[in-house]
Protein backbone atom coordinates (compact mmCIF):
# COMPACT_ATOMS: atom_id res chain seq x y z
CA UNK A 1 0.00 0.00 0.00
CA UNK A 2 1.43 3.39 -0.98
CA UNK A 3 1.70 6.26 1.46
CA UNK A 4 -0.61 9.22 0.96
CA UNK A 5 0.84 12.49 -0.32
CA UNK A 6 1.61 15.11 2.31
CA UNK A 7 -0.96 17.85 2.57
CA UNK A 8 0.16 21.42 1.81
CA UNK A 9 0.18 22.48 5.49
CA UNK A 10 2.62 19.68 6.33
CA UNK A 11 4.86 20.61 3.41
CA UNK A 12 4.82 24.32 4.27
CA UNK A 13 5.61 23.69 7.96
CA UNK A 14 8.61 21.53 7.09
CA UNK A 15 11.55 23.75 8.18
CA UNK A 16 14.43 21.70 6.78
CA UNK A 17 16.82 23.81 4.66
CA UNK A 18 16.74 22.98 0.96
CA UNK A 19 20.06 23.73 -0.65
CA UNK A 20 20.40 22.01 -4.00
CA UNK A 21 23.75 21.55 -5.65
CA UNK A 22 23.96 20.83 -9.35
CA UNK A 23 26.17 21.28 -12.36
CA UNK A 24 25.11 23.32 -15.35
CA UNK A 25 26.66 23.24 -18.81
CA UNK A 26 26.35 26.62 -20.52
CA UNK A 27 26.61 25.24 -24.07
CA UNK A 28 28.35 26.95 -26.98
CA UNK A 29 26.15 30.07 -27.23
CA UNK A 30 25.98 30.90 -23.53
CA UNK A 31 29.71 30.06 -23.22
CA UNK A 32 30.59 32.63 -25.88
CA UNK A 33 28.45 35.18 -24.01
CA UNK A 34 30.19 34.40 -20.70
CA UNK A 35 33.72 34.30 -22.16
CA UNK A 36 33.12 37.72 -23.72
CA UNK A 37 32.17 39.10 -20.30
CA UNK A 38 35.24 37.53 -18.72
CA UNK A 39 37.89 38.22 -21.34
CA UNK A 40 36.77 41.46 -23.00
CA UNK A 41 34.17 43.03 -20.68
CA UNK A 42 31.80 43.03 -23.66
CA UNK A 43 28.13 42.15 -23.47
CA UNK A 44 27.21 40.12 -26.54
CA UNK A 45 23.72 39.32 -27.75
CA UNK A 46 22.22 37.28 -30.57
CA UNK A 47 19.88 38.71 -33.22
CA UNK A 48 17.04 36.70 -34.74
CA UNK A 49 17.11 36.62 -38.56
CA UNK A 50 13.32 36.22 -38.64
CA UNK A 51 11.95 38.93 -36.34
CA UNK A 52 15.12 40.95 -35.71
CA UNK A 53 14.84 40.78 -31.90
CA UNK A 54 18.14 41.07 -30.00
CA UNK A 55 18.44 38.74 -26.98
CA UNK A 56 20.54 39.29 -23.86
CA UNK A 57 21.74 36.94 -22.49
CA UNK A 58 22.47 35.37 -25.87
CA UNK A 59 20.29 32.46 -27.00
CA UNK A 60 20.66 29.89 -29.76
CA UNK A 61 17.07 30.11 -31.00
CA UNK A 62 14.30 32.69 -30.96
CA UNK A 63 11.39 31.79 -28.65
CA UNK A 64 9.11 34.09 -30.66
CA UNK A 65 9.58 32.72 -34.20
CA UNK A 66 11.74 29.61 -33.56
CA UNK A 67 14.58 30.69 -35.88
CA UNK A 68 18.17 29.65 -35.17
CA UNK A 69 20.24 32.67 -34.23
CA UNK A 70 23.85 32.90 -35.39
CA UNK A 71 24.37 36.67 -35.68
CA UNK A 72 26.25 38.17 -32.74
CA UNK A 73 25.95 41.85 -31.80
CA UNK A 74 27.52 43.84 -29.01
CA UNK A 75 25.13 45.78 -26.80
CA UNK A 76 25.81 48.67 -24.44
CA UNK A 77 26.91 48.37 -20.81
CA UNK A 78 24.10 50.84 -20.05
CA UNK A 79 20.36 50.46 -20.08
CA UNK A 80 17.04 51.08 -18.36
CA UNK A 81 15.68 49.47 -15.22
CA UNK A 82 12.38 47.88 -16.26
CA UNK A 83 11.40 46.29 -12.95
CA UNK A 84 12.94 45.51 -9.56
CA UNK A 85 12.46 43.86 -6.21
CA UNK A 86 14.16 44.45 -2.88
CA UNK A 87 15.22 41.20 -1.21
CA UNK A 88 14.98 41.26 2.59
CA UNK A 89 15.12 37.55 3.46
CA UNK A 90 18.59 36.03 3.39
CA UNK A 91 19.05 32.65 1.70
CA UNK A 92 22.18 30.45 1.63
CA UNK A 93 22.57 30.95 -2.13
CA UNK A 94 22.70 34.77 -1.96
CA UNK A 95 26.10 36.32 -2.59
CA UNK A 96 25.08 39.70 -1.12
CA UNK A 97 23.93 40.70 2.33
CA UNK A 98 20.28 41.61 2.64
CA UNK A 99 18.67 43.88 1.86
CA UNK A 100 19.70 44.04 -1.80
CA UNK A 101 17.99 44.67 -5.11
CA UNK A 102 17.41 42.47 -8.15
CA UNK A 103 16.30 44.22 -11.31
CA UNK A 104 15.41 43.54 -14.91
CA UNK A 105 17.70 45.67 -17.06
CA UNK A 106 17.03 46.29 -20.75
CA UNK A 107 20.42 47.22 -22.18
CA UNK A 108 20.68 49.76 -25.00
CA UNK A 109 20.65 47.78 -28.25
CA UNK A 110 18.73 44.82 -26.77
CA UNK A 111 15.05 43.93 -27.03
CA UNK A 112 14.96 41.78 -23.91
CA UNK A 113 15.79 42.41 -20.28
CA UNK A 114 18.26 40.55 -18.15
CA UNK A 115 17.96 39.91 -14.43
CA UNK A 116 20.84 41.14 -12.33
CA UNK A 117 21.71 42.69 -9.00
CA UNK A 118 21.79 46.45 -8.44
CA UNK A 119 24.49 48.06 -6.29
CA UNK A 120 25.60 51.51 -5.15
CA UNK A 121 21.95 52.48 -5.06
CA UNK A 122 19.80 54.40 -2.60
CA UNK A 123 16.66 52.31 -2.07
CA UNK A 124 14.63 55.51 -1.71
CA UNK A 125 15.67 56.67 -5.19
CA UNK A 126 15.07 53.46 -7.18
CA UNK A 127 12.54 53.96 -9.96
CA UNK A 128 11.38 52.16 -13.07
CA UNK A 129 12.99 53.77 -16.11
CA UNK A 130 16.17 54.90 -14.35
CA UNK A 131 19.43 54.58 -16.28
CA UNK A 132 21.93 52.01 -14.98
CA UNK A 133 25.30 50.70 -16.12
CA UNK A 134 27.29 47.52 -15.58
CA UNK A 135 30.11 47.36 -13.05
CA UNK A 136 32.48 44.50 -13.85
CA UNK A 137 34.16 42.40 -11.17
CA UNK A 138 37.90 42.90 -10.82
CA UNK A 139 38.45 39.13 -10.81
CA UNK A 140 36.38 37.53 -13.56
CA UNK A 141 35.70 33.77 -13.74
CA UNK A 142 33.48 33.23 -16.75
CA UNK A 143 30.03 33.41 -15.19
CA UNK A 144 27.24 35.98 -15.00
CA UNK A 145 28.75 37.40 -11.80
CA UNK A 146 31.57 38.83 -13.94
CA UNK A 147 29.13 41.72 -14.04
CA UNK A 148 29.31 42.47 -10.32
CA UNK A 149 26.15 44.58 -10.41
CA UNK A 150 24.45 47.46 -12.21
CA UNK A 151 24.53 50.95 -10.68
CA UNK A 152 22.79 54.23 -11.51
CA UNK A 153 24.49 56.05 -14.38
Instruction: Read off the pLDDT of residues 75-116 as tens digits, 9 standing for 90 and up.
Output: 999 999 999 999 999 998 888 999 999 999 999 999 999 999
CA distances 119 to 3, 56, 57, 78, 88, Å, are 48, 20, 20, 14, 15
Q: Does residue 109 come out as left (phi exceeding 0), alpha (psi in the -120 to 50 range) or beta?
A: left
Q: CA–CA distance from 42 to each of 6, 75, 82 (Å)?
A: 49, 8, 21
Q: Is the pLDDT of residue 38 over 60?
A: yes
Query: Which H or E run includes 93?
Result: none
Q: How far apart are CA 55 and CA 38, in angstroms?
A: 19
pLDDT number for residue 22 = 66
**Region of residue 43 (phi > 0: left; psi between -120 and 50: alpha; otherwise: beta):** beta
Over residues 5-24, mean pLDDT: 59
User: What's the CA gap between 105 and 3, in Å, rounded?
Assistant: 46
Question: What is residue 72's predicted lDDT score, i.e. its pLDDT?
Answer: 98
Q: What is the pLDDT of residues 49-81, one digit of tens each?
A: 999 999 999 999 999 999 999 999 999 999 999
* Cis amide linkage into residue 111, ω under 30° from 0: no
The per-residue DSSP string of 26-88 comes to: -HHHHHHHHHHHHHH--EEEEE-TTT--EESS--SB-TTT--B--EEEEE-SEEEEEEEEEE-
Give this prediction's pTM. 0.83
Q: For 91, which DSSP code?
A: -
Cβ count within 10 A of residue 143 = 13
Cα 81 from Cα 118, distance rounded (Å): 10
Give the percent of the chain with pLDDT over 70.
Answer: 86
Amino acid sequence: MSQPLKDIETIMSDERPRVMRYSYAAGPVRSKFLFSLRDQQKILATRCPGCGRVYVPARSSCPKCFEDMEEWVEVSHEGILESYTIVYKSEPIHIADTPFVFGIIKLDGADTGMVHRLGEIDFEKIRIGMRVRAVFSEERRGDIRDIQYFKPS
